[in-house]
Chains A and B, each alone.
Chain A
Amino acid sequence: KNQVEQSPQSLIILEGKNCTLQCNYTVSPFSNLRWYKQDTGRGPVSLTIMTFSENTKSNGRYTATLDADTKQSSLHITASQLSDSASYICVVSAMDSSYKLIFGSGTRLLVRP
Chain B
Amino acid sequence: EAGVVQSPRYKIIEKKQPVAFWCNPISGHNTLYWYRQNLGQGPELLIRYENEEAVDDSQLPKDRFSAERLKGVDSTLKIQPAELGDSAVYLCASSLETVDPDTQYFGPGTRLTVL
Contacts and interface: CB of A to CB of B under 8 A. Distances in A.
Contact of B42 (A32, A100, A103): A103
Interface string A25-49: 0000001101000000111111001
Given A43-B109, A103-B42, A105-B42, A98 B101 contact: yes
When A and B form their complex, which 8 residue pairs have the shortest distance between CB atoms, in order from nearest? A43-B106, A103-B42, A44-B106, A93-B102, A99-B101, A43-B107, A105-B41, A42-B108
A46 to B, nearest CB: 7
Interface of A: 4, 9, 31-32, 34, 41-46, 49, 89, 91, 93, 98-101, 103-106, 108
B48 interface: yes
Interface band, chain B: 20 to 34
Given A43-B4, A43-B108, A43-B109, A89 B102 contact: no
Nearest to A89: B42
Given A43-B107, A99-B31, 6 more contacts: A32-B102, A42-B109, A44-B106, A45-B106, A98-B102, A104-B42
13 contacts: A4-B42, A43-B93, A43-B106, A44-B43, A44-B91, A46-B103, A49-B102, A99-B31, A99-B102, A100-B48, A100-B56, A105-B40, A105-B42
Contacts of A91: 42
B102 A31 contact: yes
A99 B104 CA distance: 9
Given A32-B102, A99-B97, A43 B91 contact: yes
A41 B108 contact: yes
B15 to A, nearest CB: 24
A91 B9 CA distance: 24
B25 to A, nearest CB: 12
Contacts of B106: 43-45
A8 to B, nearest CB: 13
Nearest to B48: A99
